[in-house]
Amino acid sequence: MANDPITALVNGRVLLDGGLVDDRCVLIENGRILAIVAANDRRCAEGQKRDLGGKLLLPGFIDSQVNGGGGVLFNDAPSVEAIRAIGAAHRKFGTTGFLPTLISADLDVVAKAIEAVQAALSARVPGVLGIHIEGPFLNVERKGIHDPDKFRELDTDAIKLLTGLRGGRTLVTLAPEMTTPAMIRKLADGGVAVSAGHTNATYEQIRLALQAGLTGFTHLFNAMSQLTGREPGVVGAALDDPDSWCGIIVDGEHTDPVVLRISMRCKRHDRFMLVTDAMPGVGTNNKSFLIGGRKITVSGNLCLDDDGRLAGSNIDMASCVRNAISLLGLPLPEAVRMASLYPAEFLGLAHEVGRIAPGYKANFVLADEQLQVLETWIDGQAAS
């Protein structure tokens, strides 16, 4: 089978490891970055040239927590078609890699969701990287919008199910105090990324979970025990541990920007990653939707139930990046890395996505100076 012709992306401001650079040509072949060369390199003239008009060429965004989009909630329709629709909705906002996220459900629904993601991976649905299973192994004291009737113990059968996906990444959010370090270790040894969320754990319980293989914290500050003067809680453990990753929703609502700025002084920036926790309204004008029969109202970036309880967000990843710059005071390259390289590292995928570098997948965002997304590439295929 003949190789695809080489594509040459020219006249862009390209975000490389050292920052934004001009006068570079990005060569793409067979869905991957062949080379990054000087603009006057002969291979640029020989390839199929695409002039980027001086716009920003950024690594594609990666979102590890996507409940829905385009009017679709993954829980309602755990299918290949739903995954495709959700991915298409978020792609318009720069997300070129995502984990469709299932909130607490019965294990037969979890099994159906895993089967759908397996099929989506086989069908090469653009952007899908695996699955995020958020619950049902959670603490009712920090249930949030989750249905506590779905909560259950993490047992051997559940672990067998959760470690069954092949060819993609599985992320499981659980409450460490509702299981044991030994069970967390079994998940981690089975290739699952384990994150703490909807948890009322103590600092000591989180410390033991980290030793057992816990590597992340789901929507830091939300639905977890807080940092206090006498008990550091989950938040204190997350900020005290230098190596674990913290997902943050930078919408100005889930967590006060001042709190996030303080948090980012506690550990390296490369251990914070942007997530949307997006619900079906992203990419639509819909003002409400249902979760388990409960009406959720969309108000700006917020999704609220009738009691005023947060139910995910209505924000996209490009907006999160812009907010990381305007609300957290981060330079553009660092804000973009929090949406690309750092989540790739968390998911164990930093060898092929999250950077613009030779050998990596040709997953890009083309944006203007205001970080409005103009076009995306996934595996070298462009879409506006």
Q: What digits encode the pLDDT tens for the residues 228-274?
A: 999 999 999 999 999 999 999 999 999 999 999 999 999 999 999 99
**Of 84, 86, 99, 177, nearest in space to 134 by CA:** 99
Of the candidates 289, 319, 325, the residue with the CA atom closest to the CA atom of residue 301? 319
Prediction pTM value: 0.97
Give the length of the chain.
384
pLDDT in tens, 36-83: 999 999 999 888 999 999 999 999 999 999 999 999 999 999 999 999
Helix, coil or strand: residue 299: strand
CATH class of the region 60-346: alpha beta
Would you say the CATH fold of 60-346 matches that of 7-58+357-383? no
Q: Which CATH entry fits the domain spanning 7-58+357-383: 3.30.565.10, 3.90.550.10, 3.30.420.40, 2.30.40.10?
A: 2.30.40.10
| pLDDT of 202 | 98
The half-sphere exposure of 324 on its side-chain side, counting CA atoms within 13 A, is 28
Q: Which of 277, 305, 316, 368 is catalytic?
A: 277
Decide if pLDDT at 3 tops 80: no
Domain ranges of the chain: 7-58+357-383, 60-346
Tokens of 265: 């002084």
Read off the tokens for 295.
């009406």
Rounded-to-integer distance, Cα 192 and Cα 366, Å:
32
d(CA 132, CA 74) in angstroms, rounded, equals 11
Average pLDDT of the chain to the nearest whole number: 96
**Quick one: how far is CA 94 from the chain centroid?**
12
Query: Which H or E run contains 121?
Result: helix 107-122
In the annotation, is 277 catalytic? yes
Token couple for 299? 């108000």
